[in-house]
């Protein structure tokens, strides 16, 4: 069902856990399948210098969180906001059709964490 890239990110997830002093936290979930993602970001000079996540879900959900965190770490806020579900799926060399919508919530969680960061930021 899953290709070797998805399995690698599922079995060896990158950037797991939380950040005790996160600048932004975003949570998303899909009640239809039960996948829940919580993303923590650390921002310096408008760049995501660190990102961590906690994901409850299937192998695809964990792999998507892992891949997305790798894709935006070190990127500017604007680059991170632009990340799409399709880009994550492509980076994982594809996902089964039935897993794309419910498991690939990571870009939404990243945007939610950035929105949280921006809501707290005082210029």
Catalytic residue list:
33, 102
By C-alpha distance, which of 39, 47, 43 is closest to 110?
Answer: 39
In degrees and rounded to multiples of 5, residue 116 shows phi and psi of -65, -45
Asked if residue 73 lies in contact with residue 48, where contact means CB atoms within 8 angstroms, the answer is yes
Residues in the chain: 123
Q: In the chain, how long is the greatest CA-to-CA distance?
A: 48
């Amino acid at each position: 069902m899953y290709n070797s890239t998805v399995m690698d990110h599922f079995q060896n997830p990158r950037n797991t856990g939380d950040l005790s002093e996160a600048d932004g936290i975003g949570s998303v979930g899909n009640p239809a399948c039960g996948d829940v993602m919580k993303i923590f970001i650390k921002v310096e000079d408008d760049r995501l210098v660190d990102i961590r996540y906690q994901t409850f879900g299937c192998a695809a959900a964990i792999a998507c969180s892992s891949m997305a965190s790798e894709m935006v770490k070190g990127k500017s806020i604007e680059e991170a906001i632009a990340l799409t579900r399709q880009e994550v799926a492509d980076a994982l060399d594809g996902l089964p059709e039935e897993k794309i919508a419910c498991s690939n919530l990571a870009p939404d969680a990243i945007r939610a964490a950035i929105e949280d960061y921006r809501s707290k930021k005082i210029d």
